[in-house]
Amino acid sequence: MTLDGKKIAILIAPRGTEEPEFVQPRQAVQDAGAEVTVIGLEPGEARTNNSDLDPGGSYAVDMTIDQVSAEQFDGLIIPGGTVGADTLRGNGDVINFVEAFFDQKKPVGAICHGPWLLVEADVLDDRSLTSYLTLQTDIENAGGNWLDEEVIVDEGLVTSRNPDDLPAFCAKIVDEFGEGRHAAS
């Protein structure tokens, strides 16, 4: 599947985004031909973590959340990382950005703790998804159907549990971004 001409947004927190969950999906969609924009809360660079506790790398923020809208993009990637996802879900502009992708029926990929943003955006009614195990109750309380599977696709929404699921997650986001909007979502 080629993503030539597709513009994909990927979120990153100022610190605490899980490095492999940021790096590998970004690389997968770039390798498929997409133009990827790294969106953060602050300009400059953002620091990632590995296994939530170990320092990761530093990555340039292309645009800040106040400079973008969902209309500019064909898809959205939400990496995990406990601290990073919690920081992002506490920002109203980020939540509005995420919600707009669902309103516009554009594909979204969220892995590990990334689905916390979907809970906060209130977009999970009757959707099937997965996440890191500890988000199960949050997802179910938000109206989602939580399943313990490597990757779940629900009409444009792609979710996975943890970094071990990255190969399946990356393959499915490329497929879904290639398909584009989903009328039933």
User: Is residue 139 one of the residues assigned to a domain?
Assistant: yes
Show the DSSP H helices in the chain as ranges. Answer: 19-31, 82-89, 92-103, 115-121, 136-141, 166-179
What's the pLDDT score for residue 184?
53
**Does residue 181 form part of some domain?**
no
What is the spatial distance between Cα 32 and Cα 30, in angstroms, rounded to a whole number? 5
Q: How confident is the model at residue 181 (pLDDT cuts 50, 70, 90)?
A: confident
Task: Tell if the pTM clears 0.95, that is, is over it.
Answer: yes
Distance, CA of 113 to CA of 68 (rounded, Å): 23
* Residue 157 maps to a domain: yes
Q: Which long-range contacts (CB under 8 A, 24 or more apart) does 122-125 make?
A: 123/98, 123/99
Q: Does residue 149 sit within a domain?
A: yes
Domain count, the chain: 1
Closest listed residue to residue 14, CA positions, set 62, 58, 74: 58
Supply the pLDDT for residue 149. Answer: 98
pLDDT confidence bin for 182, thresholds 50/70/90: confident
User: Domain of 72: which CATH number?
Assistant: 3.40.50.880
Q: How far is CA 151 from CA 61, 165, 177, in A?
A: 28, 7, 15
- Cβ contact 82:15 at 8 Å: no
Give me the pLDDT at residue 173, please: 98
Q: How many Cβ atoms from other residues are within 10 Å of residue 164's Cβ?
A: 12
Q: How many CB atoms lie within 10 A of CB 82?
A: 18
Q: Which residues are catalytic?
A: 112-113
Residue 29 has pLDDT above 50, yes or no: yes
In a domain, 1, yes or no: no
**In the predicted model, is pLDDT for residue 117 greater than 90?**
yes
Is position 83 within any domain?
yes
In the three-class reduction of DSSP (H, G, I as helix; E, B as strand; rest coil), residue 25 is classed as: helix
Supply angle C-alpha 164, 168, 172, rounded to 5: 145
**pLDDT of residue 23 exceeding 60:** yes
Please tell me the least confidently modeled range out of 9-13, 53-57, 161-165, 179-183. 179-183
Tokens read off for 122: 């209130």
Q: Is the residue at 171 inside a domain?
A: yes
pLDDT score at 185: 43
In a domain, 21, yes or no: yes
Domain that holds residue 48: 7-175
Q: What is the mean pLDDT of residues 143-163?
A: 97
pLDDT in tens, 129-139: 999 999 999 99
Percentage of the chain lying above the pLDDT 70 cut = 98
Q: What is the pLDDT of residues 97-110, one digit of tens each?
A: 999 999 999 999 99
Gap between the terminal Cα atoms of the chain: 22
